[in-house]
Amino acid sequence: MFHEKLRRIDDYRLEVPCDFKPGMRTNGIIYVDAVLEKSLEPEAIDQVANVASLPGIVGPALAMPDIHTGYGFPIGGVAAFDMEAGIISPGGVGYDINCGVRLLRSSLRRESVSARMKELVDTLYNVVPAGVGSKGRIRLGPDDEKKILLKGARWAVEQGYGTVTDLELTESGGCLEGAEPGLISPKAYERGRAQQGTLGSGNHFVEVQYIDEIYDEAAANALGLFIDQVTVMIHTGSRGFGHQVCTDFLGIMEKAARKYDIRLNDRELACAPIKSSEARDYLAAMRAAANYAWANRQCIMHWTREAFMSFFRMSPAQLGMGLIYDVAHNIAKVEDHVFEGKTRKLLVHRKGATRAFPAGHPELPGVYRNLGQPVIIPGDMGRASYLFVGAPGSMSETFGSAGHGAGRVMSRGQAIKKAKGRAIWRELEDHGVIVRASGRETLAEEMPEAYKDVAEVVNVIQNAGIAKKVARMRPLGVVKG
């Protein structure tokens, strides 16, 4: 029934028309081809329609090809709102505020690490705290925690966890201005105090990879990439701190929606007008959580580099392990976009979606100004991940956005049930991937079958003109939370 109401615009876009559901103010667009359309969840389609019903939405409600059902917004959802008439919704950012990915290059080649991968993964597992309730190596006092919320990754660099160059290659310099530590609840502070510099659980990881395919030689050369090169990908966010910030504000936003008489198709889309005090407070608290996440990834990257140097007994210059880029994929940002021929300041929600700014965009660091922003799309433990750069189509079609991963096709409960009686770690090892995790259940939840084939997802992104493929990375070893 749901699919019958959709209209195919072209090979890579489906329209959710305005008459799909009462109350829609605009249409929705889902970026899927005929293959991915088969795995579309009716609940996720309905969520696109619900987002299209929110006040002040500009343009269509969008969903990337890794779309699946989330809280309020679908995961893979993108929506832009007018700064005067629009709203902000925590459901459009997610619980794990500024969950994101950073990718590192090295001078190492696959053959120099493959034979020692078990030892290397064990080393990384011991260096990077991971799993539910994991505690970090950093002990924070109240003043330190507030400084992290204001400075983000810059705080970590000031403590010796990295270099200024790392900040230049991090989205927004690793810090959003306008954070307000005074708006954070005591419970959020308590949850965040011991978790700075930790990986967390679920789909978060540190993955050792190698490049097995290059699609754009010029872009790869500009990024310092080559075939069989060892790379490292880090995926984590704001941990319990960001989760608590979201939880705290969902109650506030539910009251705000009633106060401002905002009609919602789904209470999970609780929101407030952007100009309201509730929205201003949420934005300031969200920015604080985003800064916590950037500091978190910065610290983990620093320890990862140290672990590689110690393990291979190489100097920093010999190892050549440098950051390519860090992207956020659960965040809301005020940005300038051209819509219907006019430049407008909009609040763009990206939930399970990343920026994909093209060459020439003023917010890009100088080193990527002529190339486009690196767009990092991780897959699952058993297949591949991809590096793109933003393409002009992203600005005209998706408010400068692309997908963020493979996207689930099974719930965690379904995956655990399907994995019963299987040794997922051994199956992966048989395919040449060494995995360490804090528990068997984590591996079951995150087994490759629980995700869409990332190759299908990235082909839609490429063919829709949102971003351009540069390289493919295959996993060698994975540390899971």
CA 70 to each of CA 36, 219, 305, 336, 411: distance values in angstroms, whole numbers, following the listed order:
18, 34, 34, 27, 11
CA–CA dist 410, 445 (Å, integer): 9
Q: Measured in whole angstroms, how far is the alpha carbon of residue 300 from the centre of its chain?
A: 16
The confidence score (pLDDT) of residue 134 equals 61
The confidence score (pLDDT) of residue 444 equals 86
The confidence score (pLDDT) of residue 131 equals 57
Query: For 400-415, what is each residue's pLDDT tens digit?
Result: 999 999 988 888 889 8
- What residue type is assigned to position 291 of the chain? N
CA–CA dist 424, 266 (Å, integer): 37
Q: Is the pLDDT of residue 30 over 90?
A: yes
Query: For 377-399, what is each residue's pLDDT tens digit?
Result: 999 888 999 999 999 999 999 99
The confidence score (pLDDT) of residue 411 equals 86
- Is residue 114 within 8 Å of residue 138, measured between CB atoms? no
CA–CA dist 211, 225 (Å, integer): 8
The confidence score (pLDDT) of residue 2 equals 55
Q: CATH classification of 3-86+98-480 is 3.90.1860.10, yes or no?
A: yes
To which residue do tokens 């009609």 refer? 263
The confidence score (pLDDT) of residue 136 equals 66
The domain spans of the chain are 3-86+98-480
Task: Please choose, from the candidates 18, 16, 52, 46, the residue with its C-alpha nearest in 3D space to the C-alpha of residue 31.
Answer: 16
Above pLDDT 90, what percent of the chain?
84
Indicate the pLDDT class of residue 174, thresholds 50, 70 and 90. Answer: very high
Average pLDDT over residues 198-206: 86
- Give the number of other CB atoms < 10 A from CB of residue 433: 23
The confidence score (pLDDT) of residue 448 equals 84
**Alpha helix segments (H runs only) across 114-224:** 117-127, 142-151, 153-158, 164-168, 186-193, 217-223
The confidence score (pLDDT) of residue 419 equals 84
- Which residues lie across from 460 on neighbouring strands? none
Any catalytic annotation for residue 431?
no
CA–CA dist 356, 369 (Å, integer): 13
CA–CA dist 461, 353 (Å, integer): 12
Q: Is the pLDDT of residue 1 over 60?
A: no
Q: Is the pLDDT of residue 344 over 60?
A: yes
Q: Is the pLDDT of residue 135 over 80?
A: no
Full DSSP string of 365-398: -GGGTTT--EEEE---TTS-EEEEEE-THHHHHS
The confidence score (pLDDT) of residue 202 equals 76
Q: Which residue is catalytic, options 243, 349, 404, 431?
A: 404
Q: Is the pLDDT of residue 55 over 80?
A: yes
Task: Please choose, from the candidates 207, 205, 285, 303, the residue with its C-alpha nearest in 3D space to the C-alpha of residue 245.
Answer: 285
